[in-house]
Amino acid sequence: MIITHNEKHFNELRKEFPFFVFENYSIKYTNLNICITYHFNLSDKISFYPSLEIPFNKEINKDKLSDALLNNIVFHIGLIELLSYWKAACSPEIIIKPFKLNENQLQWWKNLYFNGLGEFFYLNGINPDINNFVTIRSVGKEHLEKQKIELKDANIIPMGGGKDSAVTFELMSEAGQDNLIFFLNPQHIPVNVINVQNRNNLIVTAKREISHELLELNKKGFLNGHTPFSALLAFTSLLISALTWRKNIVLSNESSANESTVANTTINHQYSKTIAFERDFRKYVKEYISEDFNYFSFLRPVNELQIAFLFSGYNHFFDKFRSCNAGSKSGVWCCKCPKCLFTYIILSPFLSEVELIHIFGEDLFAKKAFQGVFDQLTGKAAVKPFDCIGTIDEVNAALVLCIEKYNGEDLPYLLSYYFTDDLYKEHKKKDSKTLLRQFNKENFLSDAHSDIIKKALNKRFMSVYNEKMP
């Protein structure tokens, strides 16, 4: 990872662009789709017009959706979308024009912006304070009231194409749940994942289009970096829920996402995947949008090691899933990034070397170039990779379990390197299977959904270890 010392640039841009405005948005219906266009204004010098397009299909019924609820959700999507454009200059003031937000809402959004941009600030070498990094001013005259909507007890599963959403999809399908798959900016990889076993899957898509003006600013050296995409997905999923009349928005965020990326700080690449965000989001939606949506993460009770444990039993996904961000557009494993190495490690206790090499195309444990990233993943380095990965304990547990399969012989480079390290000696003393037996009770699952996961873990334990999960 590269930390760029941009604080001077940050201060210069804030002086040059003192305010950022959420001007308005438009909703246009055609025979084919709904197209939402936002207008953001950077200090009366640059305008941005990002859009969100949702193609119609038989699953969408727009006629029952009230204008009041539609406008409420679309407005809120704009409040999170604007962050991608505000961060280019980090104007000290954000002005919200379309509707009025009360003081509690303004503080809620300020917290989300600050925590969601933790990685952005860190990697740009900027040290803002939550009280003064921005002032949000709401000048709209009308305050949107929360609405009532009658939704059926059915599920929307946002899919990304990795092992986590594949496990959610598989378990919910096996349980006979009424599921609809949602793709935001669909690519062929997640589509391939749900097409296994010739199931007749219900699908809705949405296409998010970035304003080209932002891309031009990036080329000119304006500030750039990570924004909380999962928060954008959360608000967008509300719109899909309302359009398809499905109550449950079922995410695939695990308990591991709660661990900070930078030790002893709140900086977390996965902030909008944490239980803290999930709790805050649920409360905000029920208070200001509608009480009828049920947003929760199905995998919250389990960790990344358990997800890999479950996933390893579904070999029909092995050729189809991808968790590599660098290779996502072309549908490959780049075999160079932290996400590839983490996925290889977390699966390694449960798959053979032949299966791993078949999935990734090469033995990642044999790559000396990965040693620096390996140290970050195991906690030997102070900062974890800024990526969606498991905890340090989970990585070490996976490595210990993997080495057990080798009986200490013919270890590939990274495993040999780890085998002689104090970290291995430390974690070998622990019962690595303890992490496989966990069930985190800090979640928002119904008893029925909890039972689906518990039964799946018990089944996998009997299959692999011939014992029941406690």
pLDDT digits 0-9 by tens, 40-59: 999 999 999 999 999 999 99
Give CA–CA dist 77/36, Å, rounded.
10
Q: What is the mean pLDDT of the chain?
A: 94
pLDDT digits 0-9 by tens, 285-313: 999 999 999 999 999 999 999 999 999 99
Q: Indicate whether 106 pLDDT > 70.
A: yes
Contact 10, 223 (CB under 8 A): yes
Alpha-helical regions (H) of 246-316: 275-288, 304-311
The total of other beta-carbon atoms located within 10 Å of residue 250's CB is 26
User: What pLDDT does residue 409 have?
Assistant: 77
φ and ψ at residue 206, rounded to 5 degrees: -145, 145
φ and ψ at residue 99, rounded to 5 degrees: -145, 165
Long-range CB contacts for residues 55-64, cutoff 8 Å, separation at least 24: 55/205, 55/207, 56/31, 56/32, 57/203, 57/204, 59/180, 59/202, 59/203, 59/204, 59/244, 60/204, 60/243, 60/244, 61/243, 61/244, 61/245, 62/29, 62/34, 62/243, 64/245
Binning pLDDT at 50, 70 and 90, where does residue 327 land? confident
Give CA–CA dist 166/348, Å, rounded.
18
User: What pLDDT does residue 197 have?
Assistant: 56
Nearest in space to 289 (alpha carbons), one of 335, 241, 323: 241
User: What pLDDT does residue 186 have?
Assistant: 76
pLDDT digits 0-9 by tens, 142-196: 999 999 999 999 999 999 889 999 999 999 999 999 999 999 987 756 666 676 6
